[in-house]
Structure 1
Amino acid sequence: MLNKDKIKRFTAENALLEQFMFHFYRLRNAKAFQQEVELRRDLSIFDYQRLSKDLPYAPSERVIDNNLYGYARYLKEFAGITQDLKAYMEHGLFLGRIVHQDQYHWHFPRIITMSEGRRAILKDKIPQKESIAVGPYIHYAPSLYRDAQMKSLKEKLGKVLLVYPFHSMKNVKSSFNYYDLIEEIKRVGKNYDSVLISLYYLDALDKDKQEAYASEGFHLVSAGHKFDPNFVARQRAHIELADLTMSNGMGTQTGFCIYLNKPHYIFQQDINQQAISKQENQRFNANSAGSDKELVAYQRSYFSQLFSELRSDISEHQRAETAKFWGFESIKTKDELRAIWPE
């Protein structure tokens, strides 16, 4: 294990040290962070480069991962919760039976996830912690843009194809045949007025990837940096503008699109994920054993097949299978959430 993981997990296990670090980063970075977040809130939907730039770390939640993508922020705003969640919130869809190693180390006794199926896995893997399913996180976030702004954008863009290329991660680059993907986007997009390419913030700063899509006349957008609390609200705006959504590999956004009643098409491609070093490769592989990886691969293949047909609607089977993994039936009301986190 890398030293940074050891330090992070040692901190997560020690409440006083963890709380000290939380307040340290808030005091050091909160003002600059908030100013930049407010500035980015008003940026054009197409200003993907500015939206993707680094943000200073200024946590609003004590668990580090709870500050990713704005999921915790909007869950709390929805329910009127002002206190810290004091739980580890999974930062997206986890396939197979993989459990992030950090979840074992945080001293808080709860885990937040999306589905009952995932909750059962967590109960089996970490029985000493209570797991809570709240459904697809995007349910709790409204679109970042006002109705008038959304109407104006829709009038400008017309019929929209929204594409999510499989994205890189920190220290792990993803690659695939860009030519084949672009040719497929052009084939599908010929019946649409506009094509939006939603780039993850790491890829949005890659000039080669920018040029590959921009040179075809596609519009580039990004939901923003991972620590931008408006990430999920910006993502919802992108999805609501779309008439059809598309990707070349399933991800958390797949279920979000279906939940928001946007048909989804997966163009099947071989994806290569390469860590930048031997150490990072060990870190990347540390969360799963062989059997877990096999189940993940099977589930990825299953969803790729499920959405392999290009269609303008969502089949009952697609919706039902997606609902199981993203927890459509686990949505909580404001009162239910406040009962879990009473003020």
Structure 2
Amino acid sequence: MKTYLLDLVFRINFINIIFYYFFRIMNYKHRNESEKRKSYSIFNFNKLIEDIPFYPDEYLIDNNLYGIGYSLKRYMELETPLDAYIEHGLFFGSLVKKNSIENHSKRIITLSNIRNKHIRRVAPNIDVITLGPYIHYADELIDNLTFINLKNEFGKILLVFPSHSTKDIKAQYAGNKFINEIEKISESFDSVFICLYYLDARNVELVNSYKEKGFYIVTAGHYYDKYFLSRLKSLILLSDYTMSNKVGTHVGYCVLLNRPHYIFDQPTNYEKIGINADKEIDQRNNNDKTTSKLEQSEVVHAFSQFSDDITSTQKDIVDKYWGMNSIKNKEELLGIIKNL
């Protein structure tokens, strides 16, 4: 029933707007929660990961996630909701989520030309807008003085992105092996920051496994925090090198911001913990799974060796999947959005 109702919200503009205003009225007292958290220390992860009641700024539900819609509109100095569905991260393979094409806008904002082609094969009548890595459009969250003080205090920083869970599935990997690799890589660094997704940062055992090694826990915040993308941008810029144990949107973001990245590729198992777990895990058909595996393998191969510099091959890969050459300036972006 819940899935059916959400499908109606996506498809019918009138119902979507009612849904939008209902939550704005119901959660009005929480409208400034993101602003409150804007001033929190990057190390105050326990406060940053607390739930935020849903107070939408965008009509389309997914456009309120990770501060992407907010960052794009702030970049354009636009106040009205976007009439286009935003794919909220990098999707590998030919999977195109149902709610991204079966909503009232009939327009999709995505990263790259290869993603554009996948979407058009499934939905040839959808308008697809490629903008490149969304993090380009986000403001930095840490001011210059704080940034300088943090660099003086923590020196050369290795920023690590572990595989992350979702509401319905819990990511599981060989933590000891990953920690051993982090320790090996971090020998030439002064500090290690572990950037945990907000759901994983609630896992006390996981948090302690990193803290026991002297690593610092940080997070980009709750996914309803409109400064999520800005906080992530500041964390990446604060670092000198980045690594992860699985390919994800963060890889291209790091390269765009001129931070080398290393993938210590590990098998990740997903434990079903929510009612939509089966749907999330099995959302790809065989073709989707094949194309996803091929594309992810290409990225993993390009980043599988620790390197002090970003290679030309890595830049080409990031352009292919994250669309670095699709970045728009303010005037170009405004022209596209206003002509939708």
Q: TM-score range by the shorter chain?
A: over 0.9
Tell me the alpha carbon deviations over residues 161-216 of structure 1, each in whole angstroms, 9 at most, x when there is no partner: 00000100111011000000001101111110000000000001110111010111
SS at structure 2 position matched to 1:201: coil
- Deviation of 1:67 (Å): 0.5
Instruction: Check conservation: 1:29, 1:56, Cα contact below 8 A.
Output: yes
Q: Which position in structure 1 is the counterpart of 2:5? A: 7
- Deviation of 1:286 (Å): 4.6
Cα distance in 2 between the residues matched to 1:188 and 1:4: 45
- Deviation of 1:269 (Å): 1.0
Q: Does 1:17 align with 2:24?
A: no
Cα distance in 1 between the residues matched to 2:248 and 2:291: 15
Amino acid corresponding to residue 143 of structure 2 in structure 1: R
- Deviation of 1:105 (Å): 2.0
SS at structure 1 position matched to 2:276: helix
Cα distance in 2 between the residues matched to 1:281 and 1:148: 44
Instruction: Check conservation: 1:166, 1:247, Cα contact below 8 A.
Output: yes
Structure 1 stretches of 5 or more lacking a match?
Answer: none
Cα distance in 1 between the residues matched to 2:9 and 2:139: 34
Q: Which position in structure 2 is the counterpart of 1:322? A: 318
Q: Which position in structure 1 is the counterpart of 2:209? A: 212
Specify which of 215, 219, 231 is matched with residue 222 of structure 1.
219
Cα distance in 2 between the residues matched to 1:307 and 1:318: 7
Tell me the alpha carbon deviations over residues 210-250 of structure 1, each in whole angstroms, 9 at most, x when there is no partner: 10101110000000000100000000011001111000001
Cα distance in 2 between the residues matched to 1:322 and 1:340: 23
How many residue pairs end up in the alignment?
Answer: 339
Cα distance in 2 between the residues matched to 1:205 and 1:281: 19
Amino acid corresponding to residue 4 of structure 2 in structure 1: K
Specify which of 291, 314, 332 is matched with residue 336 of structure 1.
332
Instruction: Check conservation: 1:113, 1:133, Cα contact below 8 A.
Output: yes
Q: Does 1:176 align with 2:177?
A: no
Q: Which position in structure 1 is the counterpart of 2:305? A: 309
Instruction: Check conservation: 2:9, 2:16, Cα contact below 8 A.
Output: yes
Instruction: Check conservation: 1:101, 1:287, Cα contact below 8 A.
Output: no
Q: Which position in structure 1 is the counterpart of 2:284? A: 288
Q: Which position in structure 1 is the counterpart of 2:103? A: 106
Amino acid corresponding to residue 50 of structure 1 in structure 2: K
Q: Which position in structure 1 is the counterpart of 2:31? A: 33
After TM superposition, the structure 1 = structure 2 runs for residues 1-343 of structure 1, keeping only pairs within 5 Å, are 3-34=1-32, 36-276=33-273, 279-342=275-338
Give the 3 Å change call, closer, same or farther, for CA 45–246 of structure 1 in structure 2.
same
Instruction: Check conservation: 1:81, 1:341, Cα contact below 8 A.
Output: no
Cα distance in 2 between the residues matched to 1:286 and 1:163: 28
Instruction: Check conservation: 1:99, 1:287, Cα contact below 8 A.
Output: no
Cα distance in 1 between the residues matched to 2:73 and 2:172: 36
Amino acid corresponding to residue 322 of structure 1 in structure 2: V
Cα distance in 2 between the residues matched to 1:83 and 1:281: 34
Cα distance in 2 between the residues matched to 1:193 and 1:274: 35
SS at structure 2 position matched to 1:173: strand
Cα distance in 1 between the residues matched to 2:28 and 2:70: 15
TM-score between the two structures when normalised by the length of structure 2 = 0.97
Tell me the alpha carbon deviations over residues 8-39 of structure 1, each in whole angstroms, 9 at most, x when there is no partner: 011211111111110010111133131x2122
TM-score between the two structures when normalised by the length of structure 1 = 0.96
RMSD: 1.3
More displaced 10-residue stretch of structure 1: 304-313 or 292-301: 292-301
